[in-house]
């Protein structure tokens, strides 16, 4: 099964999880780049506001998800919601993704992020998982093990 791990990460936490999952599953990886600056305190505040308002943003990514049997999508949780970058990615690629799994990283409260991702894609993913920062290492291992049930590693 050809697998792609797609992620957006502002601080690097979600990127770290995505890299570990990619390695565990021998998958390809693609980082979604938000073209809007999210740096510094103003970027942080704007990020939460944009997520709360359900805004999209201009993004860049390299791989075509239609080339994959499974696309694993990861995002941080911003104000209990999906990031504008992943919102945009899912809306743009909803017809191209055959099967999906979703994960989110957060400091404590996951809010409605995974439910929003499912609504944006329009189908039920094979797996939804929240990783809490204080248990990130264990959560990453659990996520990889759960995904291995669905993926034949070559």
Match 């944009």 to its residue by tokens. 50
- What's the pLDDT score for residue 154? 47
State the chain's maximal CA–CA distance in angstroms. 44
Collapsed DSSP state (helix, strand, coil) of residue 51: helix
Three-class secondary structure assignment of the chain: CCEEEEECCCCCHHHHHHHHHHHHHCCEEEECEECCCCCHHHHHHHHHHHHHCCCCCCEECCCCHHHCCEEEEEEEEECCEECHHHHHHHHHHCCCCCCEEEEEEECCCCCCHHHHHHHHHCCCCCEEEEEEHHHHHHHHHHHHHHHHCCCCCC
Question: How distant is the alpha carbon of residue 52 from its chain centre?
Answer: 17
Domains of the chain in sequence order: 3-148 (3.40.50.360)
The Cα 120–Cα 11 span in angstroms is: 24
Per-residue pLDDT for the chain (154 aa), expressed as one digit of tens each? 899 999 999 888 899 999 999 999 999 999 999 998 888 888 888 888 889 899 999 999 999 999 999 999 999 999 889 999 999 999 999 999 999 999 999 887 778 899 999 999 999 999 888 888 777 777 888 888 888 877 765 4
Which pTM does this prediction carry?
A: 0.89
Match 């505040």 to its residue by tokens. 45
- What's the pLDDT score for residue 40? 87
């Amino acid at each position: 099964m050809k697998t792609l791990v797609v992620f957006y990460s502002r601080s690097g936490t979600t990127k770290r999880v995505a890299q570990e999952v990619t390695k565990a599953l021998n998958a390809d990886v693609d980082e979604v780049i938000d073209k809007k600056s999210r740096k510094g305190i103003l970027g942080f505040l704007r990020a939460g506001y944009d997520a709360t308002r359900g805004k999209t943003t201009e993004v860049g990514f390299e791989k075509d998800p239609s080339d994959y049997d499974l696309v694993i999508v990861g995002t941080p949780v911003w104000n209990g919601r999906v990031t504008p970058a992943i919102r945009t990615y899912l809306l743009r690629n909803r017809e191209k993704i055959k099967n999906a799994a979703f994960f989110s990283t957060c400091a404590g409260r996951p809010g409605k992020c995974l439910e929003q991702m499912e609504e944006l894609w329009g189908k039920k993913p094979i797996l939804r998982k929240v990783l809490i920062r204080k248990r990130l290492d264990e959560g990453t291992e659990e996520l990889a093990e759960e995904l291995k049930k669905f993926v034949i590693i070559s």
